[in-house]
Structures are given as C-alpha cells and as structure tokens.
Amino acid sequence: MTSSATLGLLGTGIMGAPMAVRLARAGYTVKAWNRSRDKAAALEADGVSVCDEPAQAGRDADVVIIMLSSGQVCDDILFGDAALLDAMRAGSTLIVMSSIPVETARRQAAEAQMRGVRYLDAPVSGGEKGAIDGTLAIMAGGDKATFDDVCAVLAHLGNPVHVGPAGSGELAKLANQMIVGNTIATVAEALLLAERGGADPAKVREALLGGFADSTILRAHGQRMLDGDFQPGGPAKWQYKDTSTAVALMASMDLDLPVTRLVDALFQAMVEHGDGDLDHSGLIRELRRHNALPV
C-alpha cells in the first residue's frame, strides 16, 4: 500500500497519538478521532486532520486503525450509534490494534466480512516509547493476503508479524501480557528479597544484568521500581484487564495456569487499592502492602 493511501485512526491516547504522528510523517493522509477532541487537536501541527465523529475518520479511508481502551469500547464505536463499520467502504481494511478478548476479535472479523470490509486484529507491545520510536511488536491475526497488503503501513509503527487467523493476534498479546505481568511480579519480589536481606537492591539488579535473569523488565521496570517512578507507560488497570482476560480464556479452555492466576489477583488488588492509573511496574507497591511494608 502506497503512502498516498488515506488512513483513519481512532483513539489518540498514550499509544494512538504518536502512532498517528508517525503515519502522517510517513506521507499518509491521516484522519484522527478521539472521544476527547482536545487530545487529538495537538496532532494537527503534524498534518493530522481531526474529525468530530468516528464515521468521518472511517469514510473514504483505505485503512482504519482502532487504538481504544477495551473490546466493549471498540464494539460501541464499530456497531453502536457511531456505526463506524457501516461508514467504511467495501474493500477497505479495519485494523483493531487494541487489546481485546479473542472471541471479540473473531466476532468483529465476521461482522466486517459481512460488510465487505477486511479485518485484522493486531495488538501491540512496547509501550509509549515503542509507539514514539516506531519499534512496537505487532501481532497480527487475520487473512494473510490482507496482512500482506497493509504490512507497509504497519511497518512504520514497528515489526508486524502475521501469527494466524482472526483472533490469533489477541492470543499472542495475551501471551505477551502474561510474560510481562508475571515477570514484573518476579522482579518486584526479587528486589524486595534483596532489600529485606540487607543487600543493595540497585546493586543486585546491576549484578544480574547480562546473566540468565536479565530481561527488558529487569532493566526498564526494575529501575522504575528502584526510583519509585510509576508515571504510566502501561497503566496497571490495563495490565489487569489483560491478565483477567487471559484467566477467563484459560478457564474456557480447561487450562489451569496458576502463576498467571496469582499475578492476576495481585494486579486486581493493586487496582482496588487505588493504584490502577500507575505504571504496571508499581506492582511492587502491592507486594509491599502484602508484606505490611511501607509503601
């Protein structure tokens, strides 16, 4: 797909705004919509046209990208009063890059197909920095030919990989979120163990870098935990949304994955204690509460 294509993008929050900017700077005509118009207005300086209604962003677009907060919100925009899907022309492509339940993605794909609209579920990992730098991991489910047609668009946002039929992108994202959430919990426990045992947790982290325990989580989120810097790149409430979705899905498959169940319960407690808007690395605060330590 050439850079002369017209793209609609719905949802200009932490992730969607830098994605819209990257696509506009790549030469695409980008029309954006956000429920709070103020958040989208700043994008006009980068050549993004801001729409007042979702249908405006979808009408006459070759590709429509959705980056909204949940499956229910996506459904409301696609099928509710906004009727975005009905505004899209036959032959265009809908790419839902939100983290939504697998069954929701499959249902949306079927609804799109009935209207002659091609569909991909293509959730991402990499946080705000990845969205800004164009280094997102993009996990795409849907028809392979559709993926091939829009791969050039997605490549401006990161590394797109086709992982299977509709819903498979969301399965891959759940696997990603399980690894991320479970590793955050383990790093937090390790740093607390070091602290309570009398070692310098910062030096323990430094000593582990480069060994088998090294990871992006240890490097980035381990440092956040040490600094107490929980300005959200990935809010805990979204991590909990994904872990709870994974728990529900594994139950429907008669799978018992106990580590994920335990971590899901920790994120639930973190949200219930009012820390849902903090970065998910703030889980160390919940583990401090759990152990009656100062937060």
Q: What residues are annotated to the active site?
A: 173
From first CA to last CA, the distance across the chain in angstroms is 51
Q: Assess contact for 130 and 158: CB atoms under 8 A.
A: yes
- Retrieve residue 51's tokens: 């729409």
* Residue whose C-alpha is closest to residue 246's, from 131, 148, 99: 99
Q: Where are the alpha helices (DSSP H) in 70-137?
A: 71-79, 84-87, 102-114, 127-133
What is the identity of the amino acid at 201? P
In one letter, which amino acid is 266?
L
| 3-state secondary structure (DSSP) of residue 26 | coil
69 membership: H or E segment, kind and range: none
Structure tokens at 180: 């991320």
Residues 6+ apart with CB under 8 A from 23: 7, 9, 30, 153, 156, 157
Q: CA angle, 144 as apex, 140 and 150 as ends, to 5°?
A: 65
